[in-house]
Amino acid sequence: LNLVDHAILLSNDCFWQENIKLVFDTLISNCFPEHIIHRHIQKRVNFLNNRDLNDTVNVNLAGSDKTQFISIPYVENSSHDLYRLLKNSGFNVVYKITKKLNNLIRLGKDNLQNNDKTGVVYKLNCKDCNLSYIGQTKRHLRTRLKEHCNNIKLHESNHSVISKHRSESRHDFDWSKPNILHNEKYVRKREIAEMFFIKKFNNNL
């Protein structure tokens, strides 16, 4: 545990991946079982990650019991407008830690394919122009993309903005390569993230 703490807490985040790998290789060279190393490093990483998040929340919650707090990812030149909007709506806004340790440090775990993920904000790009569509879903992304694709079969009065673009411009979308912009299981936070990314990108349908 001390090795992991030193690798993370005593270095800049740009060196975390390299330092954790050094810890892993050192333990392997000293004949520690690989599965035990994986388990203990990941457990410690999770602890440090949760500790950082809790410290951030505790500092910001100390002032009031009644104010509603909401966290948003910080993106330069985009977050400030959303911050003011939420602040004016009565929310106390906390910028989310975007470089989670779990995102930076991976020890061989396979990631889910994008289409199998749930609770996501996604971006779907047109293959024939620079326009894109940003949406959110709680279900498997694969299911939502299928709905988008099949919507064009309905009467044009029921066409979505994607179907209208496909029909009017004779364009199509890159269904096989959706971009996952954000993961969030709570619908309210997911909708706010969707609004955030719609504001960030200026080429949306």
Could you tell me if 136 and 192 lie in one domain?
yes
Phi-psi map region of 91: left, alpha, beta (phi>0 left; psi -120 to 50 alpha): beta
Could you tell me if 97 and 157 lie in one domain?
no
Could you tell me if 20 and 78 lie in one domain?
no
Question: Rounded CA gap, 98 and 72, in Å?
Answer: 9
Residue 145 included in any domain: yes
Could you tell me if 131 and 85 lie in one domain?
no
Could you tell me if 121 and 196 lie in one domain?
yes
Could you tell me if 75 and 15 lie in one domain?
no
Location of structure tokens 């309210």: 188
Q: For the full predicted model, state whether its pTM sits above 0.85.
A: no
Phi-psi map region of 188: left, alpha, beta (phi>0 left; psi -120 to 50 alpha): alpha
Domain that holds residue 93: 69-102
Residue 108 included in any domain: no
Could you tell me if 121 and 161 lie in one domain?
yes
Mode of pairing for the β-strands spanning 132-137 and 68-73? unpaired
* CA torsion through residues 127, 133, 134, 138, sign: negative
Could you tell me if 194 and 118 lie in one domain?
yes
Q: What is the pLDDT along the chain (205 residues), one digit of tens a residue?
A: 556 665 555 555 566 667 677 777 777 776 777 777 777 777 767 666 665 444 444 444 444 445 566 666 656 566 666 667 666 766 666 665 555 545 544 544 445 678 889 999 999 999 999 999 999 999 999 999 999 999 999 999 999 999 999 999 999 999 999 999 999 888 888 888 898 888 888 899 8
Total domain count, the chain: 3
Could you tell me if 53 and 81 lie in one domain?
no
Could you tell me if 9 and 83 lie in one domain?
no
Q: Which of 194, 174, 173, 175 is nearest to 119 (CA)?
A: 194
Residue 120 included in any domain: yes
